[in-house]
Amino acid sequence: MIFRKATFSDVESILKLINEYAQQGLMLARSRNTLYEGLREFVLAEEDGKVVGVAALHLVWDELAEIRALAVHPSKIKTGIGRTIVEKLTEEAKELGVKTLFALTYQPGFFRKLGFKEVEKDSVPQKMWKECINCPKFPNCDEIAMVKEL
């Protein structure tokens, strides 16, 4: 298993993995354009030349960042890929000086195991929600806000 930063040649695989989960209502869809624009944010897991896991570290504001677009191929769930990707992104966040890391998720148990705590959406900085206006579920968000202080 190789963990590395994403490259242009990975975009189609990332798009397919994320949007398969999005079609099931398990995560938010991403457009090809969004992936290209944020490509530097992504870390992925590759096995035998195939993308089997991905997530991004999105810088939001002063010392605030989001773990987003976390997806692991269904055949690789519960193998530690998601955990390893989040750990790598957490280390990158620390190196950048991030103090608060958050995730908006439908899988709070996963993030809880990694030291995140569930918080009321109203208690988090408004900057966390700046991109929500583009979400098809806005303003009726049903994701759970999770925060980890670094």
Summarised one tens digit per residue, pLDDT across range 79-100 is 999 999 999 999 999 999 999 9
The full set of domain ranges for the chain reads: 2-149
With a cut of 90, say whether residue 129 has pLDDT above it.
Answer: no
Sorting pLDDT into bands at 50, 70 and 90, what band is 138? low
The SS3 call for residue 32 is helix
Q: Count Cβ neighbours within 10 Å for each residue of 17-49 and write b for 16 or more, e otherwise.
A: bbbebbeeeebbebeeebbeebbebbbbbbeee
Peptide bond preceding 139: is omega within 30 degrees of 0, i.e. cis? yes
The mean pLDDT value for 17-21 works out to: 95
Sorting pLDDT into bands at 50, 70 and 90, what band is 106? confident
The answer to whether 69 and 42 have CB atoms below 8 angstroms apart is yes
- Residue 123 has what pLDDT? 65
- Does 3.40.630.30 match the CATH number of domain 2-149? yes
- Residue 120 has what pLDDT? 80
Q: State how far the Cα of 129 lies from the Cα of 92, in Å rounded to an integer.
A: 22
Q: State how far the Cα of 47 lies from the Cα of 86, in Å rounded to an integer.
A: 17
Could you give the percent of the chain with pLDDT greater than 90? 72
Q: Where are the alpha helices (DSSP H) in the chain?
A: 11-23, 32-37, 81-96, 108-113
Sorting pLDDT into bands at 50, 70 and 90, what band is 29? confident
The mean pLDDT value for 16-31 works out to: 90
- Residue 125 has what pLDDT? 58
Q: Are strands 117-119 and 100-105 parallel, antiparallel or unpaired?
A: unpaired
DSSP structure string for 58-79: EEEETTEEEEEEEEE-GGGTTS
